[in-house]
Amino acid sequence: METVLRALFIYLVLLLIFRLAGRRTLMQMTSFDFVLLLIISEATQNAMVGNDYSITTGILAIVTLVGTDIALSHWKHRSPTVERWLDGLPMIIVDNGELLKPRMDKERIDEQDILAAARQGQGLERMDQIKYAILEVGGGISIIPKR
């Protein structure tokens, strides 16, 4: 029982922390972000299984995490309100070529992030080629070019 409760608690705490941290956290996946993610997973593992290294405990923790994730995705699918609060909604950050700075600042996005997304996704060269930039739920930036 303890393993299931520990895994469930860790899942909810991680969900809360990453939601509070904002959707851009760990999104860029620099090499340091990758190392940070590994360190977090190590700390999480210790909190979940303690000193018990048995296969049973490992399987119970994995099943609890995956099961909770499935249950939560069902809940989000049935309730748009839950989905909005847990995942957020997309948000326009460039509107007809105009940078919406207050929104960008709140989400810690600068012009360079938008230009990088435009280069990577659309092969665009300049800001004036962008019609819309949208901060997606997952933290990525999608670009709609001017036609």
Partner 1 sequence: MASIPPIGDLEIHQDLDLQHRTWTLQHMGRAAMALLIAMALSGLFGSGPWARTTVTDSQNLLQIEYDRFGRYEGDLWLQFTIAPGAIHDDRVTLWMDRAYWTGFAVEHITPEPDRSDTGFDGFTYFFSAETRLAPVVIVFRLRPESLGLLDARIRLNDHISIRFGQLIYP
Choice between 84 and 119, CB closer to partner 1? 84
Compute the Cα dihedral for 55, 57, 60, 65 and give only its sign. Answer: negative
Least distance from partner 1 to the Cβ atom of residue 37, Å: 18
3-state secondary structure (DSSP) of residue 121: helix
Closest CA to 108 of 90, 95, 128, 93: 93
Q: Which is nearer to partner 1, 66 or 77 (CB)?
A: 77
Residues in contact with partner 1 by CB under 8 A are 16-17, 19-22, 50-51, 84-85, 88-92, 95-96, 103, 106, 131-132, 134, 144
Q: Please, what is the minimum distance in Å from the beta carbon of residue 7 to partner 1?
A: 14
Q: Which is nearer to partner 1, 129 or 132 (CB)?
A: 132
| Minimum separation from the CB atom of position 29 to partner 1 (A) | 21
User: In terms of C-beta density within 10 A (0-12 exposed, 13-18 middle, 19 or more buried), how is residue 32 classed?
Assistant: exposed
Q: CB-based contacts of 36: which residues, under 8 Å, 6+ apart?
A: 26
CB of 20 to partner 1, least distance (A): 3
Would you say 4 or 134 has its CB closer to partner 1? 134
Q: How far is the CB of 28 from partner 1 (least distance, A)?
A: 18
Give, in degrees to the nearest 5, the angle at Cα 101 between 111 and 93. 75
Burial class of residue 125 (count of CB atoms within 10 Å of its CB; 0-12, 13-18, 19+): exposed
Of 31 and 51, the one with the shorter C-beta distance to partner 1 is 51
